[in-house]
Structure 1
Amino acid sequence: MKKLSILILSLFVFSYLNAQPAQTDQIAKNEVSKLTFMEGYWEGTGWRYSADGQKHSFEQTEKVQFKLDGTAILVEGHGTSNGKTVHDAMAVITYDKEKQNFRFSSNLSDGKGGVFTGEIIDGKFYWYPNDFIRYIITVNNNGQWHEIGEMNRNGNWFQFFEMTLNKQ
């Protein structure tokens, strides 16, 4: 009888502990909440320079949702040109407390991707695929998603990408 009582008590304690809600990381949640301006479904157009120096236009959508009790953002981007997919990506943005910056984990349909650094400067979200390229996302005065991509050439930033999207 004593063994049965211990077993029942152990099962009760184990069940109780497992039933407790997970504690949300409040620091990460507070930092990620600074990106609420990105949330929603966005549609619009943009342009980019290709490696051959030609300027190409495209149509773009961005679907941005908060996940994991507000500690992560899921970004799904899809771009087309002349009816063909030219960009198909998914990213997750989280906050890295140790490094005190954002972690931008990106995956492309072609198998490429990576984990990049992000930060907020003057209310704009910057993310850096490497030391020479940066993307800057903001909502402009017209309430539109405005994003540019720039490349650093000898200390000067050169714009190679831009898109403007309307919230749907």
Structure 2
Amino acid sequence: MRKHVITGLLLLFSVALFAQAPPAPDPAAQAAEIKKVEFLVGEWSGEGWMDMPGGKRETFTSWEKVVKKVNGTALLVEGLHKSKATGEVVHETLAMLTYDPGAKNYSFRTALANGRAGNFTGSVPGENVFVWGMSSPRSQIRYTIKLNDKGEWFEVGEFSPNGETWRKFFEMTLRKVK
């Protein structure tokens, strides 16, 4: 008898767990949101600059490749920046951009060649504009990517100690090559 009671309780708890499971994702809705950032899809090259620790400004050439994956529900982003002065790699990244319907925002997961990685949130505040960033208790960093009037990928990175005053530390302009 005790065995039947325990089995019944286990069955009851497992049914309750499944009843509380989040709803299944809607790939069509996710793909519709990814369409808003499809302006990034393609192969891009150009140049830019970034402020380095110690106040030095590094100029670089850049290559970015963005492809649509998993039935249009994600973008895969590869990036490579090389120093104009030395030709050495100064930044290399692999990232995946998806839309989280539960949180109603974009998720931007990055992995860098230096071993660092992160999961950041993003938004689409206008047509052909994507903004993503990170916050800590003492500062904020945001990156804004948009197509300029020439159809170029124009990206700016900014830092703020308070969320009101912003200082640019990164700028890049890329032309679509494929």
TM-score range with shorter-chain normalisation? 0.7 to 0.9
Question: Which structure 2 residues correspond to residues 83-98 of structure 1 after superposition, within 5 A?
Answer: 83-98=87-102
Out of 150, 156, 174, which is 1:165 matched to?
Answer: 174
> Secondary structure of the equivalent of 1:36?
helix
2:14 corresponds to: none
1:10 corresponds to: none
Q: Distance in 1 between matches of 2:26 and 2:43?
A: 26
CA drift of 1:53 comes to: 1.4
Q: TM-score under structure 1 normalisation? A: 0.84
Out of 14, 27, 30, which is 2:29 matched to?
Answer: 27
Q: Which amino acid aligns with 1:77?
A: G
Question: Which structure 2 residues correspond to residues 6-155 of structure 1 after superposition, within 5 A?
Answer: 25-81=27-83, 82-123=86-127, 124-131=129-136, 132-154=140-162, 155=164
Identity of aligned residues (%): 40
Q: Distance in 1 between matches of 2:173 and 2:109?
A: 22
Q: Which amino acid aligns with 2:146?
A: T
Deviates more, 1:130-139 or 1:91-100: 130-139
RMSD: 1.3
Q: Which amino acid aligns with 1:89?
A: T
**Structure 1 ranges of 4+ moved more than 4 A:** none
Q: Distance in 2 between matches of 1:33 and 1:160?
A: 29
How many residues are paired up?
146
Runs of 5+ consecutive residues of structure 1 not aligned to the other structure: 1-22
Spell out, residue by residue over 1:82-108, the C-alpha distance to the aligned partner (whole angstroms, 9 max, x if none): 211111100000000110000000000
Runs of 5+ consecutive residues of structure 2 not aligned to the other structure: 1-24
Deviates more, 1:131-140 or 1:99-108: 131-140
Q: TM-score under structure 2 normalisation? A: 0.79
